[in-house]
Amino acid sequence: MNPFFDPTFDAYYHEFPLRLVDIGVRGGIHTRWNQCRKHLQVIGFEPDPEAYRALANESSGSRGHTYLNTALSNVAGEADFYNTRSPGCSSLLRPNAKFLSEFPEADRWDILSTTKVTVKPLDQALREGGIDSVDFIKLDTQGTELLILQGGSETLDKSVFGIEVEVEFAELYQEQPLFSDVDQYLRSLGFALFDMRPIDWKRENAKYIGGRKGQMVFADALYLKTPEALLIEADCSKAAFLKGLTICVVYGYLDYALSLCEHAHRLNTLGDKELDLITKRLRKPRHLAFAWPGFRGRDRIANAIYMIYDVFRSRDWSHSGSSGRYLGNDGDPLIRG
């Protein structure tokens, strides 16, 4: 499905492109955003110098991609950066060795060196870069996500529609904020939790004993702003509304996109013809589960197929669950239309 719906709206997207801020962008942005590249601007923050250089080299010929070798926090100043054996585990917070030692591959968090880095709030970094608004933020910064969100309060309140953030349910890093802290903060700003992709770990001394599940340790969480918050805070801007719709399409929440359309139409942000055009596009895709007729024994057949799948899928101490392969409906191979 075209995330920009129809060429009728190209002028809005051209003047106000969809702006994605990716914080902890090691390895590049998620492929789900490739469908938006026609009207997409990316601002990526990566504090690790080596990962930053790789990104800068890869994007040297890419229009609309800007990467900054900047560490973010809630205040400006200097901070210790703990470089770990696995670079992706490095953080401004010290790893919680006591907890991590209970699980396999704890040596990934071994501290190899500590360096001093300059940190600044997200709001400040965006102002310095001449960025006046952002539509979506993704954060994966090994325990400092809440600090960064707090340092971007002006941006969150002004224009951001969606946030994908890694949250923890246990302290992987010493004194780090947990999911409940992040959730409370984002809800206070008008965001609603839409989905989670949880990861649980089994302990080293019993990783192949019992069932697949271990302790739920962290998750990728998706938050979207309520229609009221989006349309009021954006002063009913049609461009902001359209970009909110695009984000809904990217993550596969077509039902929520329809709800946004209804709110925008009531506020005269969306005209009758525009509403009709967009809703026709949104109502077309269907999941194959709804195409098959209901019949007696359907659930038993589904359970039998799932049991076969469960036997043959990957055996690992780190487990994401049967529905944890993607956030929202993005990537669901059974949606057609």
List the beta bridge partners of residue 191.
Answer: 225
What's the pLDDT band for 295 if we cut at 50, 70, 90?
Answer: confident
Cβ neighbors of 210 (< 8 A, separation 6 or more) are: none
Report d(CA 250, CA 254) in Å as an integer.
Answer: 9
* pLDDT for 320 beyond 70: no
What's the pLDDT band for 104 if we cut at 50, 70, 90?
Answer: very high
Percent of the chain scoring above 90 in pLDDT: 67
Report d(CA 270, CA 292) in Å as an integer.
Answer: 35
pLDDT of 321: 60
Q: List the single range of 24-28, 164-168, 216-220 with lowest mean pLDDT.
A: 24-28
User: Averaged over 168-196, what is the pLDDT?
Assistant: 97
Q: List the single range of 99-108, 306-315, 317-326 with lowest mean pLDDT.
A: 317-326
Tens-digit pLDDT profile for residues 223-270: 999 887 877 654 558 888 899 999 999 999 999 999 999 988 988 888
For the chain, domain boundaries: 7-336
What's the pLDDT band for 215 if we cut at 50, 70, 90?
Answer: very high
User: Averaged over 96-119, what is the pLDDT?
Assistant: 97
Dihedral of the alpha carbons of 93, 28, 165, 263, in degrees to the nearest 10:
150
The burial class, CB within 10 Å (0-12 / 13-18 / 19+), for 223 is buried
Asked if CATH classification 3.40.50.150 holds for the domain at 7-336, the reply, yes or no, is: yes
Helix (H, G, I), strand (E, B) or coil at 336: strand
Q: What element of type H or E holds 266?
A: helix 254-266
Cβ neighbors of 35 (< 8 A, separation 6 or more) are: 3, 250
**CB burial readout 271-301, b (16+ within 10 A) else e:** eeebbebbbebbeeeeeeeeeeeeeeeeeee
